[in-house]
Amino acid sequence: MLVVEDDDAIAVPLVTGLTRQGFTVTRVATGAAALEAEDAQVVLLDLGLPDIDGYEVCRRLRARSDVPILVISARGEEVDRVVGLELGADDYLVKPFGFRELVARIRAVTRRTATVGESGRPQRHGNLEIDRRRRRVRVDDDEVALTPKEFDLLACLAEEPGTVFTRERLLGEVWDPHWYGPTRTLDVHVASLRKKLGDPRWVETVRGVGFRLGTVP
């Protein structure tokens, strides 16, 4: 794992904690060092670096590698999250964050990207294609324009096709592990996703439980 963080007060305890969790960690303090570092299994990337903007580091890393990138930043506005995800980050965590939440996010992002396979090829499910690296979705070879959250929701359901995901699990993995907002936001995104995919059967409702990725003949 590569930790890209210039603040020692954050980086030192972070590296110590991740090492205790069993991760092999390398820490660098600049964007240039991150781009020169050896390939890692996961990159934790701060945006406020002293030499190169973290967004640019994210873009360059994604252009050359399929490594899972988790942005950790004090920039918490929605536009910052959207830009980071659009540039290729797999997840975005706002400082200050809980260590257990960070570990959960790391494991979730590595689990999601593992479904792509080492070749980085898109995932196929019937005539639905999900390209996590490029964050693109196709149905019958036609590209479907999704918002970042709609894509994350679909990618989450596609981790385990046919498995029922509870509403709480989806809100925790796609929005926030400590989500206390209205659950209506999930229903709105599901409705929009069904409409854009062209068939409501792609996202099946399991009454009283949650949702699962279905199959359209």
Bond before 217 cis per omega within 30 degrees: no
Question: What CATH fold (topology level) applies to the domain 2-114?
Answer: Rossmann fold (3.40.50)
What is residue 90's predicted lDDT score, i.e. its pLDDT? Answer: 84
What is residue 4's predicted lDDT score, i.e. its pLDDT? Answer: 97
Taking the model in full, what pTM does it have? 0.57
What is residue 71's predicted lDDT score, i.e. its pLDDT? Answer: 94
Q: Would you list the domain boundaries of the chain?
A: 2-114, 123-213
What is residue 176's predicted lDDT score, i.e. its pLDDT? Answer: 67
Return all residues near 55 (Cβ < 8 A) that are at least 6 apart: 47, 83, 84, 87
What is residue 60's predicted lDDT score, i.e. its pLDDT? Answer: 92
Name the residue with tokens 């409501």.
Answer: 200
Distances (CA, A) of 65 to 27, 60, 86, 120, 143: 19, 9, 15, 9, 23
- Order of strands, edge to edge, in the sheet holding 26-28? 26-28, 2-4, 43-46, 69-73, 91-94
What is residue 118's predicted lDDT score, i.e. its pLDDT? Answer: 45
Going residue by residue through the chain, which has 217 residues, state the pLDDT in tens, using 9 for 90 and above.
999 999 999 999 999 999 988 889 999 999 999 999 988 889 999 999 999 999 999 999 988 887 889 999 988 888 888 888 888 888 898 988 889 889 888 887 776 665 554 446 788 888 999 998 788 899 998 999 988 889 989 998 998 888 899 988 888 888 765 555 566 788 999 999 999 999 999 999 999 889 999 988 7
Question: What CATH fold (topology level) applies to the domain 123-213?
Answer: Arc Repressor Mutant, subunit A (1.10.10)
What is residue 178's predicted lDDT score, i.e. its pLDDT? Answer: 58
What is residue 112's predicted lDDT score, i.e. its pLDDT? Answer: 62
126 — phi, psi (to 5°)? Answer: 60, -130
